[in-house]
């Protein structure tokens, strides 16, 4: 009955929030909420009441349609689309992508740094959701976070920057790139502290605590998660954080403090009617009470657990084992054995998360108490194997301890007369198995070494063949360039000089000097134009940013393509080899857009972030297949240049879907010295 009243109270609170929000909107007849105010309300409460958020978004749409000024209406509708994209991201990916596209089209024309950063974050999140939390999907999402950071740094909102670094940290964590994950977690916390926002600080502290927990640094983890709880009043998942905090305290042998936090998390879970979480918390509390000898408290926890658990079959491994322990404690050994049979069926052949492997030792202890040495040995060995894989430096001591425990249990169930014979046979079997195991390990190690060396040789051969192919393509491109220059010199400058020579030989008219001077000027201009194509003067004199700006102006001056150029962080000159190669790469990509893409819009970003130079080029053209020969030589030239610079390239393109190219080049002095 208590739980039913709590559930009714929860529904009443949700309906109350919805009604108050709508009545507030409807009741303002003279001072009605504007669409902008509605959007701010949705942005603030979207994670608290989804139904109310959708009602408010629909209301804002109706108000926007009645606005006469088209510019104002378009701006408000773009924000409405962005809020809808945020609303649908985790529930209807197709709708979220559609609304994101509409909003993106508007904000690309009408630049808003905050909104563009939000859009790129949504694109990254949708990429992770669309393809699952696999490494390649997360890798595809990272360039979107780079773009989001570019715009967020201009907007200069520390809380917003903290959120982006938080998402990047989670992405690197999913890829198991823990150093980069930790670096982004530190930046998330730094910006959160600058912002002073309590919930942002709580989220960042929890991220740091979870990261330290992964590395087994439980004292540091405990400190950060405690701060997260301190700042986290109002967080929707606060009780989950308190639960994890209690787990860390228990691993630090602080049973009393762990029990208090389990009870605090349990109270919130019951208020939220999260019965699954509540059953787990009752289990943790009951096991602490059993360990402390508080059997009355354990019986109370067990009774509460039974009142919310539908059946033993729905219980997790900790809960099921606790139920078996309580049945044994209450003298119901048959029921305890049934619980253990169910435990073995569900979890005996599977695996548990590393920090919970002691559940198998508890199962072994209970089987020992129930006089079942074979099953006790099975779980002791399983526990030992898992411990060995997690803590290899202590595996010998653990296995020896397990063997001693096993032999003690055997001695209790074997007659004294047979003890020496059985021990001798057991040792002989162990020696035989040990010898066989050593042979298998040696053979397996040799086989692995052979396969690895063979794979390395094949990989080196493939790399050499690829380098030869790229070198051939580069030589072909250089030869084509030489032939073009020869034609330019022969057909243009050569013929002009020949004509000038004939004029000087045969034209005796003194008034012809003006014509001669004009011809000389034309030849000079042609030579200057040719030299600029080979090495623009502005690149040497003013640097990469000015050269790229001039290249864009010159290349797109006769084209109908609308181009958007963003440059950030290039306050100092880069090494010559980087500037020249990046200029040539940009020249090649612009040429591909003009000649092949059939695009109406293009975007070029040149960004300096830390010790990395980023070049991002995108268009809305027809796209291409990566095996397209028309694109192949140009892309091969780009790959050769990037390999020389130690850079990387990511290309996202398909027919009729546009092209997105993300290039990253290290600019640190150590790498440049190595390249030189």
pLDDT tens per residue, range 598-628: 899 999 999 999 889 999 999 999 888 766 6
Pair 150, 247 in one domain: no
The C-alpha torsion from 547 through 548 and 549 to 552, rounded to 10°, is 120
pLDDT over 80 (residue 444)? yes
pLDDT over 50 (residue 676)? no
Residue 585 located in a structural domain: yes
Residue 492 located in a structural domain: no
Calpha distance 609→664 (Å, rounded):
10
The pLDDT, as a whole number, for residue 649 is: 93
355 falls in which pLDDT band (50, 70, 90)?
low
Residue 505 located in a structural domain: no
The pLDDT, as a whole number, for residue 672 is: 47
Pair 445, 350 in one domain: no
Task: Indicate the DSSP class of residue 350.
Answer: S
660, exposed or middle or buried, with CB in 10 Å at 0-12, 13-18, 19+? middle
Quick: pLDDT tens for 218-261: 788 888 888 888 787 666 567 777 877 777 787 778 888 888 88
Q: Which of 402-406, 446-450, 512-516, 520-524 has the lowest mean pLDDT?
A: 402-406
pLDDT over 50 (residue 22)? no
Residue 483 located in a structural domain: no
Cβ distance 497 to 520 under 8 Å? no
597-609 per-residue burial string, b: 16 or more CB within 10 A, e: under 16 = bebebbbbbbbbe
Quick: pLDDT tens for 173-212: 877 787 888 889 999 999 989 988 888 888 888 888 888 8
Pair 213, 244 in one domain: no
Calpha distance 67→81 (Å, rounded):
16
Pair 392, 450 in one domain: no
The C-alpha torsion from 644 through 647 and 652 to 656, rounded to 10°, is -40
Residue 500 located in a structural domain: no
420, exposed or middle or buried, with CB in 10 Å at 0-12, 13-18, 19+? exposed
Over residues 410-416, the mean pLDDT reads 58
- CATH code at 584? 3.30.565.10
pLDDT over 80 (residue 47)? no
pLDDT over 80 (residue 486)? no
Cβ distance 496 to 524 under 8 Å? no
224, exposed or middle or buried, with CB in 10 Å at 0-12, 13-18, 19+? buried
Over residues 94-119, the mean pLDDT reads 89
The pLDDT, as a whole number, for residue 51 is: 63
Calpha distance 282→263 (Å, rounded):
8
Residue 319 located in a structural domain: no
Calpha distance 523→44 (Å, rounded):
67
Strands 612-619, 648-653: pairing kind: unpaired
430 falls in which pLDDT band (50, 70, 90)?
confident
Of 194, 209, 232, the one marking the end of a domain is 232
Quick: pLDDT tens for 383-401: 777 766 655 433 443 344 3
The pTM score is 0.45
The pLDDT, as a whole number, for residue 253 is: 81
Over residues 488-507, the mean pLDDT reads 66
Closest CA to 340 of 310, 311, 370: 370
- CATH code at 148? 1.25.40.10
Pair 405, 422 in one domain: no
Total tally of structural domains belonging to the chain: 6
Mean pLDDT score across all residues of the chain: 77
The pLDDT, as a whole number, for residue 412 is: 55
Pair 389, 433 in one domain: no
Q: What percent of the chain has pLDDT over 90?
A: 10
pLDDT over 60 (residue 287)? yes
Pair 381, 427 in one domain: no
Which tokens go with 508?
A: 């005796």
Q: Within the chain, how many helices (H) and strands (E) appear?
A: 28, 5
Pair 427, 460 in one domain: yes
275 falls in which pLDDT band (50, 70, 90)?
confident
Residue 590 located in a structural domain: yes
Pair 179, 243 in one domain: no
Over residues 631-643, the mean pLDDT reads 78
Of 310, 332, 349, the one marking the end of a domain is 310
The pLDDT, as a whole number, for residue 564 is: 93
Sequence-distant contacts of 167-170: CB under 8 A, at least 24 apart:
167/121, 167/124, 167/125, 168/142, 169/207, 169/211, 170/207
Which tokens go with 22?
A: 């709508």
Residue 607 located in a structural domain: yes
380 falls in which pLDDT band (50, 70, 90)?
confident
At 508, which helix (H) or strand (E)?
none
pLDDT over 60 (residue 420)? yes
Calpha distance 509→504 (Å, rounded):
10
Pair 25, 144 in one domain: no
Pair 99, 132 in one domain: no
Over residues 50-64, the mean pLDDT reads 77
Pair 542, 563 in one domain: yes
Cβ distance 267 to 251 under 8 Å? no
The pLDDT, as a whole number, for residue 300 is: 86
At 181, which helix (H) or strand (E)?
helix 178-195
Q: Helix 255-271 vs helix 2-27: angle between axes, to the nearest 10 degrees?
A: 60
Domain that holds residue 211: 117-232
Quick: pLDDT tens for 550-592: 989 988 988 899 999 999 988 888 998 898 889 989 988 998 9
């Amino acid at each position: 009955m208590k739980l039913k009243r709590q559930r009714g109270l929860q529904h009443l609170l949700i309906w109350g929030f919805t009604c108050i929000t709508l009545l507030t909107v409807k009741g303002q007849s003279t001072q009605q909420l504007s669409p902008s105010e509605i959007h701010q309300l949705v942005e603030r409460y979207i994670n608290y009441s989804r139904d109310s958020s959708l009602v408010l978004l629909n209301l804002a749409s109706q108000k926007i349609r009645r606005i006469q000024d088209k510019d104002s209406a378009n701006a408000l509708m773009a924000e409405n689309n962005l809020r809808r994209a945020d609303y649908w991201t985790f529930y209807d990916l197709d709708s979220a992508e559609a609304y994101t596209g509409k909003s993106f089209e508007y904000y690309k024309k009408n630049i808003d740094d905050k909104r563009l950063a939000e859009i790129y974050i949504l694109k990254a999140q949708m990429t992770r959701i669309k393809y699952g939390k696999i490494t390649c999907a997360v890798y595809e999402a990272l360039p979107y976070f780079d773009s989001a950071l570019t715009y967020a740094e201009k907007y200069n909102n520390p809380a917003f920057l903290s959120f982006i670094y938080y998402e990047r940290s989670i992405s690197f964590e999913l890829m198991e790139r823990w150093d980069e994950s930790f670096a982004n977690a530190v930046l998330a916390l730094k910006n959160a502290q600058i912002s002073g926002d309590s919930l942002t600080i709580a989220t960042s502290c929890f991220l740091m605590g979870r990261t330290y927990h992964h590395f087994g640094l439980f004292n540091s983890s405990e400190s950060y998660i405690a701060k997260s709880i301190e700042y986290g009043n109002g967080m929707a998942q606060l009780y989950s954080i308190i639960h994890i905090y209690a787990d860390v305290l228990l691993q630090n042998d602080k049973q009393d403090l762990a029990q208090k936090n389990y009870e605090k998390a349990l109270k919130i879970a019951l208020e939220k009617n999260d019965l699954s979480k509540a059953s787990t918390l009752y289990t943790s509390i009951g096991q602490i009470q059993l360990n402390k000898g508080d059997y009355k408290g354990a019986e109370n926890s067990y009774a509460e657990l039974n009142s919310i658990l539908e059946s033993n079959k729905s219980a997790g491994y900790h809960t099921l084992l606790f139920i078996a322990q309580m049945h044994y404690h209450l003298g119901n050994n048959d029921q305890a054995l049934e619980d253990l049979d169910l435990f073995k069926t569900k979890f005996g052949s599977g695996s548990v998360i590393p920090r919970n492997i002691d559940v198998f030792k508890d199962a072994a202890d209970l089987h020992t108490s129930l006089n079942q040495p074979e099953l006790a040995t099975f779980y002791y060995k399983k526990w030992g194997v898992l411990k060995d894989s997690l803590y290899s430096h202590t595996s010998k001591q653990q296995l020896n301890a397990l063997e001693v425990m096993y032999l003690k249990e055997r001695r209790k169930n074997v007659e004294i007369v047979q003890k020496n014979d059985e021990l001798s046979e057991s040792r002989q079997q162990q020696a035989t198995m040990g010898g066989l195991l050593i042979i298998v390990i040696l053979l397996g190690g040799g086989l692995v070494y052979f396969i690895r060396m063979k794979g390395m040789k094949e990989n080196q051969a493939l790399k050499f063949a690829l380098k030869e192919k790229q070198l051939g393509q580069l030589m072909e491109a250089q030869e084509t360039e030489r032939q073009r220059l020869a034609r330019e010199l022969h057909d243009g400058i050569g013929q002009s000089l020949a004509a000038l020579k004939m004029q000087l030989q045969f034209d005796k008219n003194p008034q012809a000097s003006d014509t001669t001077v004009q011809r000389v000027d034309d030849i000079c201009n042609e030579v200057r134009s040719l030299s600029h194509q080979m090495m623009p003067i502005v690149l040497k004199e003013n640097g990469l940013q000015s050269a790229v700006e001039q290249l864009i102006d010159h290349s797109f001056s006769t084209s109908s393509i609308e181009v958007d150029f963003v440059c950030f962080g290039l306050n100092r000159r880069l090494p010559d080899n980087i500037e020249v190669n990046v200029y040539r790469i940009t020249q090649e990509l612009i040429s591909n857009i003009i000649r092949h893409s059939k695009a109406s819009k293009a975007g070029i970003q040149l960004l300096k972030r830390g010790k990395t130079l980023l070049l991002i080029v995108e268009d809305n053209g027809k796209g291409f297949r990566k095996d397209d020969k028309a694109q192949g030589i140009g892309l091969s030239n780009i790959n050769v240049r990037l390999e020389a610079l130690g850079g990387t390239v990511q290309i996202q393109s398909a027919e009729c879907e546009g092209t997105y190219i993300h290039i990253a080049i290290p600019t640190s002095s150590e790498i440049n010295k190595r390249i030189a």
